[in-house]
Structure 1
Amino acid sequence: MNQPSTHSSSVIPNWVDASLLTGMLRGIERESLRMQSNGFLSQKNHPKALGSALTHPHITTDYSEALMEFITTPHNTIAAALNELRDIHTVVHQHLEAGEKLWPLSMPCMLDDDEENIKLAQYGTSNIGRFKTLYRHGLGVRYGRRMQTISGVHYNLSFPEELFAELKQHESNPELKQLSLQDYRSHRYFGLIRNFIRLTPLVMYLLGASPSVCRCFLTNRQHHLQPLVKGTLYLPEATALRMGRLGYQNSAQKQLGIHYNDLHDYLDGLQKAVHTPYPPFTDLGLNDQNGEPIQINDHVLQIENEYYSLVRPKQVPEAGETPSQALKNRGVGYVELRAVDVNPYSEIGIDEITAGFLESLALYCLLQDSPDLFDEEQEQVDRNQTEVVNRGRAADAKIEEGHTTTSLQAWAQKHLDAIKDCAVLLDQMSATSLYQDALHIMQQRLDHVDATLSSHVIEDTLKHGGTWNFGSMMAEQHVNRYDQHQLSQERAEYFEQLAQTSLQKQSQLEQDNDTSFEQYLAQYR
């Protein structure tokens, strides 16, 4: 990707001003487990008063019935997105039953020895509802249900069309200049994605908050962790175990060779994975001994969403479209940054400091030169991620770049320095100091390892005598925050109406079933 001239060493072209960023949109998805008052994973159904998890736009479930997912609409300010997320948490808290609370950490606690007690999310009797539950059953069969109890935060971000139009106008590569604006926008978003992948170790160090896990998470699993305190395992210098081999990993996907160099190649790779049988999954069988389906198919991916990635290109699907078809038809509309741990110190799992840093980083990734990313460099990036996941807080933590090895400290400092200009521009756009304040906090975390979230989590886990005690204490603090958050009459009525409407929509889908689930599944297979 050729870049036009910039201010000295800045990635920001000298013709870019803050007005080109007006119109940026961000939305947040936050996952959280419901836990019983005794600390164990909830066995109750999704609260009916919250509406249908199948059709509600803001309050749904992820893998298990107890794993809630909260989704904001896109907003033009960080404050508005966080405020909507706070409203959603407050509404959910008001409808939790029997002393249940939201677990505040990315890694779960107090899981039974029996994985079957992690109850799959239920979406009713419509074909699409049963299909969603079967997909989750397939994930459990393939990877185990424990892995699916991990929570994260996904940060969705789009830049204004005007910015892409100006970037294209100043593009020095004649081939790229010939692209339609839609294709050029996709090209630039893919550049952002490649750079974000390269810089994920920075995200893990600065935002990682899962340096330890409850022992129950590792039942019947090989691991390399050490005891921290009774019932809790950790690595002394870890940052984000959620992002390592104990987290979302898929050996089948490692062999896919899906690259982020071009939208069409990416979609081809994804489609190949959705249509290619994988012998270990074939060996599991499609149905159980009673003829009941146990996975959608025996392919590398049952559906596209099974592809675990640190960042995803996204486009809002229209009726009947798959995510891939939406991307193919209208190009990349936004990116989903997925490498973010839940911040246990925030009652909504994320704060404006994290949001401001992620947006500054994303702008830097968009404007920075972004060569194609192939297997050899990807393997190096994977090694860097493993180093930071397991040893990010070690004084001698290293990062590989090309043929050189440098200290994590020096590498991170180089990028933080370069991101500062982006933070300045974003502050000009929003007439705040939020973005530079966020960078200042990140600088403190780089300068003082004790200031990192992962360091705080270890310190507080020790202080409170284990993961369960620490998490319970934070969950109780968060309850007080939800109780203090004033939901306007209008917002309360809005969520009440949504709950009723979503239940009606689910009921309609169930009445509209015109084929049996067996036929529906056979057509998909």
Structure 2
Amino acid sequence: MQTIEKDFAERVALLAEKDLASTLTGICHGIEREALRIQPNGKLAQTPHNERLGAALTHDYITTDFSESLLEFITPPEQDADKTMGQLRDVHKFALANIGDECLWPMSMPCYIDDQNEIPIAQFGSSNVGKMKSLYREGLKNRYGSMMQAIAGVHFNFSLPDRFWDLWINKTQGSENNKETKSAAYFALIRNYRRFCWLIPYLYGASPAICSSFVKGKNTTLPFKTIGKGSLYLPYATSLRMSDLGYTNSAQSGLMTCYNQVDTYIESLRKAISTPSDVFEKFAGKKDGLYQQLNSNVLQIENELYSPIRPKQPTKPLEKPTDALQARGVEYIEVRALDVNPFSDIGIERNQFFFLDVFLVYCVVMPSPNMTTDSYRETEMNLRAVVDHGRDPSLMLTQDEKTIAMTQWAATVFDGMRQVAKVLDSNLEVPEYSLAVEHEWQKILEPQKTPSAKVLANLLANNKDNGALGVELASRYKARLHDTDYQFFDADMLSKHAMSSLEEQRRIEESDTVGFDQFLSDYFTYQFK
């Protein structure tokens, strides 16, 4: 441990060198925010994706995730956090103005849904690629159920500029920045993220309670308590979205993804998408003339892997994510462990940008040894412990096979992040990074300041259902965004973009030259060169 601390101190000193520190202005972020469309009474909207929002298949900023009712808003990579937030707010405003009296559900865990068949699977038109996207979702429904797929989250995309990697890789390894060395550096970040990502649901988890309809018919050993007319909660839970009930589904518990290097990561994913599954074989072939899933392998495609972080490389049309990674390496990472922030009208707050920048740069700077099977399992156990009872003041985690109080480990991580924050503050001549770290540190000292505690306190104080709180916030945010001025995108620009996306979808549909069966066969056999 002393060696790691010494190495960390030396690497922070390198980060602070003027030539390297100056590159940190080039950090880029993008946001992907998911939100269910709901009726004014809080029930899931049954209407199709509105054409005034454009084509979900081809729109750059507004699409759908699993369901027709599950919108996804996307912002392009930007260096300025305020610009990203402004763009995200503009897209929210435009969407709300074009869905009638419907609102956006402000929480991660779904609203009241009586039956999973009320969750309409997203449709992407009649093209082969559109049909494939819908069929993939049909497979998710059959494999895991639609309720799980109705969960919403916020994805935080993060990249460091090439000039940073030029200098960092040279100073730390004596090597040149290329596809292999940059990918290795991003994977070092990813391993450290896995080690420390239990912090994320603690600080930003906002789903300690759920509607009882979500667990109807499910077996769970979680010791739920009841509030209101039928909401369930765990007293110390932070993010039930990340629990066994949510994205970290037990069906994938046997997958051991290797994060030691890009080649082994690709190999482990390709193995999962090419290995037949005894469990999913029952959905093989067609039923009533229609496919039930893309294939009967452990994973249909790479995107099916539920992970709190992903290495990413933008894909070309019909290119598989693993092919893109193999061809061009890692370009950015996608943080996937964030709950929708119910105290923000756009699902994320400004402070989160600055803290996550510090946290992810800390993951770059901290030495990152390779993971063993045991150390990987350790990260999974720590994450699950914080998700289920992270605000328990006596919570113990496991670090290098030894137990440690969560608060003690957090104090060590925050000490390291303070050093990184000082470099970012000094170089950018702003106090935001250090302020962000201290703001989050207060949540460690006072767990009642966490979003999960605030949500639960509101419910308990009023014996209120989770759904009632969601409807109140959804209505308030719709009115607030209606009165907000556009900043970066305006209604005319977004309307024109919607129209061009519809035209692009039609072009894709008209360009198909083979049947869907042949298209699927070609997709799974074709390798990009």
CA deviations 1:92-141 (Å, max 9, x no partner) are: 011012x10000000011102x2111100011111111110000000000
What is the aligned length?
517
Q: Residue 4 of structure 1 contacts residue 13 of structure 1 at CA under 8 Å; is this kept in 2? A: no
Q: 1:393 to 1:251 in 2, by over 3 A?
A: closer
CA deviations 1:59-114 (Å, max 9, x no partner) are: 000000000000000001111111110111011011012x10000000011102x2
Cα distance, 1:344 vs structure 2: 0.2
Q: Which residue of 2 aligns with 1:275?
A: 274
Cα distance, 1:257 vs structure 2: 2.1
- How far apart, CA to CA, are the structure 2 residues paired with 1:181 and 1:161? 9
Q: Which residue of 2 aligns with 1:361?
A: 359
Taking the TM superposition and a 5 Å limit, the aligned residue runs for 1:56-205 are 56-97=59-100, 99-112=101-114, 114-172=115-173, 177-178=174-175, 181-205=178-202
- How far apart, CA to CA, are the structure 1 residues paired with 2:293 and 2:317? 25
SS at match of 1:121: coil
Q: Residue 90 of structure 2 contacts residue 489 of structure 2 at CA under 8 Å; is this kept in 1? A: no
Q: Which residue of 1 aligns with 2:56?
A: 53
- Find out whether 1:476 has 2:478 as its counterpart: no
Q: Residue 63 of structure 1 contacts residue 149 of structure 1 at CA under 8 Å; is this kept in 2? A: yes
Q: Which residue of 2 aligns with 1:496?
A: 495
Taking the TM superposition and a 5 Å limit, the aligned residue runs for 1:373-384 are 373-384=371-382
Range with greater deviation from structure 2 (17-26 or 480-489) = 480-489
Cα distance, 1:285 vs structure 2: 2.5
SS at match of 1:500: helix
- How far apart, CA to CA, are the structure 2 residues paired with 1:332 and 1:429? 26
CA deviations 1:294-314 (Å, max 9, x no partner) are: 100000111111111110001
SS at match of 1:22: helix
Cα distance, 1:424 vs structure 2: 1.9
TM-score, normalisation: structure 2: 0.94
CA deviations 1:17-46 (Å, max 9, x no partner) are: 430212111101000000011211110001
Cα distance, 1:521 vs structure 2: 2.6
Which of 193, 215, 219 is the equivalent residue of 2:216? 219
Q: Which residue of 2 aligns with 1:413?
A: 411
Q: 1:474 to 1:212 in 2, by over 3 A?
A: same
CA deviations 1:336-363 (Å, max 9, x no partner) are: 0111111000000001111111111000
Q: 1:14 to 1:356 in 2, by over 3 A?
A: closer
Cα distance, 1:413 vs structure 2: 1.2
Q: Which residue of 1 aligns with 2:314?
A: 316
- How far apart, CA to CA, are the structure 2 residues paired with 1:520 and 1:320? 10
- How far apart, CA to CA, are the structure 2 residues paired with 1:204 and 1:264? 29
- How far apart, CA to CA, are the structure 1 residues paired with 2:406 and 2:447? 12
CA deviations 1:374-431 (Å, max 9, x no partner) are: 2101111111112111111111011111132111111111101110121222223333
Q: Residue 105 of structure 1 contacts residue 342 of structure 1 at CA under 8 Å; is this kept in 2? A: yes
Q: 1:120 to 1:66 in 2, by over 3 A?
A: same
Q: Residue 90 of structure 2 contacts residue 488 of structure 2 at CA under 8 Å; is this kept in 1? A: no
Q: Residue 10 of structure 1 contacts residue 421 of structure 1 at CA under 8 Å; is this kept in 2? A: no
- How far apart, CA to CA, are the structure 1 residues paired with 2:93 and 2:141? 31
Q: Which residue of 2 aligns with 1:256?
A: 255
Q: 1:297 to 1:420 in 2, by over 3 A?
A: same
Q: Which residue of 2 aligns with 1:432?
A: 430
Q: Residue 7 of structure 1 contacts residue 14 of structure 1 at CA under 8 Å; is this kept in 2? A: no
CA deviations 1:228-262 (Å, max 9, x no partner) are: 33211011011111111011134453323221000
The one-letter amino acid of 2:157's match is N
SS at match of 2:26: coil
- How far apart, CA to CA, are the structure 1 residues paired with 2:9 and 2:128? 58
Q: Residue 29 of structure 2 contacts residue 158 of structure 2 at CA under 8 Å; is this kept in 1? A: yes
Taking the TM superposition and a 5 Å limit, the aligned residue runs for 1:15-26 are 16-17=17-18, 18-26=21-29
SS at match of 1:259: coil
TM-score, normalisation: structure 1: 0.95
- List runs of 5+ in structure 2 lacking aligned partners: 525-529
- How far apart, CA to CA, are the structure 1 residues paired with 2:95 and 2:144? 29
SS at match of 2:286: coil
Q: Residue 312 of structure 2 contacts residue 321 of structure 2 at CA under 8 Å; is this kept in 1? A: yes
Q: Residue 5 of structure 1 contacts residue 14 of structure 1 at CA under 8 Å; is this kept in 2? A: no
Q: Which residue of 1 aligns with 2:527?
A: none
Cα distance, 1:320 vs structure 2: 4.0
The one-letter amino acid of 1:376's match is D
Q: Residue 236 of structure 2 contacts residue 388 of structure 2 at CA under 8 Å; is this kept in 1? A: yes
Taking the TM superposition and a 5 Å limit, the aligned residue runs for 1:287-306 are 287-288=286-287, 290-306=288-304
CA deviations 1:455-508 (Å, max 9, x no partner) are: 000011234511111111111221122012102696222211110000001111
SS at match of 2:303: helix
- How far apart, CA to CA, are the structure 1 residues paired with 2:320 and 2:401? 41
- Find out whether 1:34 has 2:31 as its counterpart: no
Cα distance, 1:4 vs structure 2: 12
- Find out whether 1:509 has 2:508 as its counterpart: yes
Q: Residue 399 of structure 1 contacts residue 407 of structure 1 at CA under 8 Å; is this kept in 2? A: yes
- Find out whether 1:207 has 2:204 as its counterpart: yes
The one-letter amino acid of 2:158's match is L
SS at match of 1:296: coil
Q: 1:178 to 1:165 in 2, by over 3 A?
A: closer
SS at match of 1:157: strand
Q: RMSD over aligned Cα, in angstroms?
A: 1.9
Instruction: Indicate the percent of aligned positions where both proteins have the same amino acid.
Output: 38
The one-letter amino acid of 1:277's match is P
- How far apart, CA to CA, are the structure 2 residues paired with 1:305 and 1:231? 33
Cα distance, 1:187 vs structure 2: 0.8
Q: 1:466 to 1:9 in 2, by over 3 A?
A: farther
Q: Residue 244 of structure 2 contacts residue 250 of structure 2 at CA under 8 Å; is this kept in 1? A: no
- How far apart, CA to CA, are the structure 1 residues paired with 2:370 and 2:8? 24
SS at match of 1:312: strand
- How far apart, CA to CA, are the structure 1 residues paired with 2:151 and 2:232? 16
